[in-house]
């Protein structure tokens, strides 16, 4: 569970607050444009900033995914992400941003449109400009060696940061656009861009990363609005890397379909490819009642399907209790075996207290006696358990719990536990009349 953030906006205090909410992974957006503004020259000040942040995160127990972030490729197209020298539209492309709008006046020095012009339309529409779409296609096609340079940069990044134990892996490219849909309209057909443009690019970048860091996880995305399943034939790098690959996907309505269809589809994608999967973006900024309900529903579906999630973004919600109370859920940070299921339901107890209507967390997992570490449960006591909580373990003769420190419970298995035994744990909030942190053990299994 975590969120995404731009490195230059992240402070140690932010990381501390992240961990206090139980959000233990940050998708750290790294900007190729910032690392290599001049071709062949890496910005070591930026490199050192990432080192500093990874060190701080490691000290505080927060994991990281390095994400090559881009949106509409470049400021040339009212976006960001790649260096200016790697953002080259087709020479005969219509002036930007046609056909979205009439041509914008460009700065004589930078070649960028003004911020006021860019603000005229939703940023995502600019990816559909002929100049922007053709520049993305040129990037995929390695025009002027841009994709080679991108691969070299990723190889450098993996070599530079591979020794951090809290670095989970690398996300090759955020929200890839299909390509030049004006010259190749078929790229708009479901799955075509995945097969034609994205997978060849992913294979190339994966090979570069693996030369520096063969064991890290590599995250790869389909086209953002894909609602018909991916058409990837394998994971980046081929079949031998299935156990080190993660299908990364985003969830926004629109363009995506509703959770009952969307998440099973993505699980089918990853099952077919034999790789992991993770929701790496969904909207936690919009505080409308409709979106807050969507946040609750999204996390609930993720729990149902045992999917880890990351919200977009961290600025704007850390100080908003309406949102943090929804994100700061009780969950298992680590399980001494294999997770079967977990769920978290927030309810307000009725006057007089009714146990069935209390905030409740439920966990079931299958024990592995080879694992000597405890199962770790995070719970936000101030938000969800202000009057205390009751923990129920079944069966109680093979598992005991203790409050390791505030907001953390550790569950230990006894020496008589057997492989594959199922442990069930329930945590319920108590009322004022039942203020207690106590244990109930059941030995009826």
> Phi and psi dihedrals of 2, rounded to 5?
-170, -160
Strand, coil or helix: 174: coil
Separation CA 107–CA 141 (nearest Å): 27
Q: Are strands 422-429 and 360-367 parallel, antiparallel or unpaired?
A: antiparallel
Nearest alpha carbon to residue 3 among 31, 30, 23: 23
Are 236 and 205 in contact, with CB atoms under 8 Å apart? yes
What tokens appear for 314 in the block?
């961290």
Separation CA 384–CA 326 (nearest Å): 10
Active site residue 175: yes
What tokens appear for 53 in the block?
């942040």
Per the residue annotation, which of 130, 175, 221, 281 is the catalytic one? Answer: 175
Separation CA 316–CA 307 (nearest Å): 24
Q: Tell me how many degrees the CA angle 162-165-171 measures, rounded to the nearest 5.
A: 55
How many Cα atoms occupy the beta-carbon half-sphere of 227 within 13 Å?
12
Neighbours of 126 (CB within 10 A): 26
String of DSSP letters for 82-135: S-GGG----TTSPSTTTTSSSPPPBPTTT-PBPHHHHTTS-GGGGGGSHHHHHH
Residue 375, beta-bridge partner list: 411
> Per this entry, what is the length of the chain?
445
Strand, coil or helix: 204: helix
324: Cβ–Cβ under 8 A, 6 or more apart, which residues? 21, 317, 318, 383
Calculated CA dihedral for residues 127, 133, 138, 144, nearest 10 degrees:
-60
Strand, coil or helix: 242: helix
96: Cβ–Cβ under 8 A, 6 or more apart, which residues? 76, 77, 89, 103, 104, 106, 113, 126, 129, 131, 132
Nearest alpha carbon to residue 212 among 240, 170, 176, 248: 170
376: Cβ–Cβ under 8 A, 6 or more apart, which residues? 332, 333, 334, 404, 408, 409, 410, 411
Residues involved in catalysis: 175
């Amino acid at each position: 569970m975590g969120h995404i953030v731009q490195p230059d906006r992240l402070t140690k205090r932010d990381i501390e607050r992240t961990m206090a909410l139980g959000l233990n992974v940050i998708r750290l957006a790294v900007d190729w444009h910032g690392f290599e503004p001049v071709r062949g020259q890496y910005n070591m000040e930026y490199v050192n900033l990432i080192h500093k942040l990874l060190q701080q995160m490691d000290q505080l127990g927060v994991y990281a995914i390095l994400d090559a972030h881009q949106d509409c490729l470049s400021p040339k197209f009212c976006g960001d992400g790649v260096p200016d020298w790697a953002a080259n539209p087709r020479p005969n492309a219509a002036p930007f941003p046609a056909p979205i709008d009439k041509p914008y006046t460009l700065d004589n020095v930078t070649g960028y449109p003004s911020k006021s012009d860019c603000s005229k339309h939703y940023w995502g529409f600019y990816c559909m400009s002929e100049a922007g779409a053709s520049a993305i296609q040129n990037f995929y096609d390695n025009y002027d060696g841009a994709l080679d340079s991108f691969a070299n940069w990723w190889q450098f990044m993996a070599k530079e940061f591979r020794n951090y134990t809290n670095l989970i892996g690398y996300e090759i490219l955020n929200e890839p656009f299909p390509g030049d849909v004006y010259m190749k309209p078929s790229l708009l057909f479901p799955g075509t861009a995945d097969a034609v443009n994205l997978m060849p690019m992913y294979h190339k970048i994966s090979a570069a990363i693996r030369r520096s860091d063969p064991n890290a996880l590599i995250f790869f995305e389909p086209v953002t609005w894909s609602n018909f399943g991916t058409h990837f034939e394998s994971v980046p790098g081929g079949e031998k890397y299935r156990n080190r690959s993660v299908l990364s996907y985003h969830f926004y309505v629109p363009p995506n379909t509703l959770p009952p269809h969307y998440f099973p589809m993505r699980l089918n994608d990853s099952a077919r490819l034999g790789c992991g999967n993770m929701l790496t973006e969904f909207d936690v900024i919009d505080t409308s009642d409709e979106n807050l309900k969507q946040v609750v529903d999204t996390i609930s579906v993720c729990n149902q399907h045992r999917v880890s999630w990351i919200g977009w973004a961290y600025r704007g919600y850390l100080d908003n209790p309406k949102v943090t109370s929804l994100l700061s859920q009780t969950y298992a940070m680590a399980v001494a075996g294999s997770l079967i299921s977990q769920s978290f339901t927030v309810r307000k107890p009725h006057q007089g207290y009714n146990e069935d209507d209390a905030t409740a967390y439920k966990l079931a997992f299958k024990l592995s006696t080879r694992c000597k570490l405890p199962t770790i449960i995070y719970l936000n006591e101030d938000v969800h358990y202000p009057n205390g909580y009751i923990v129920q373990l079944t069966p109680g003769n093979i598992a005991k719990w203790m409050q390791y420190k505030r907001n953390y419970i550790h569950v230990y298995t006894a020496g008589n536990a057997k492989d594959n035994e199922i442990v069930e744990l329930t945590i319920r909030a108590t009322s004022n009349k039942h203020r207690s942190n106590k244990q109930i053990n059941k030995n009826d299994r």
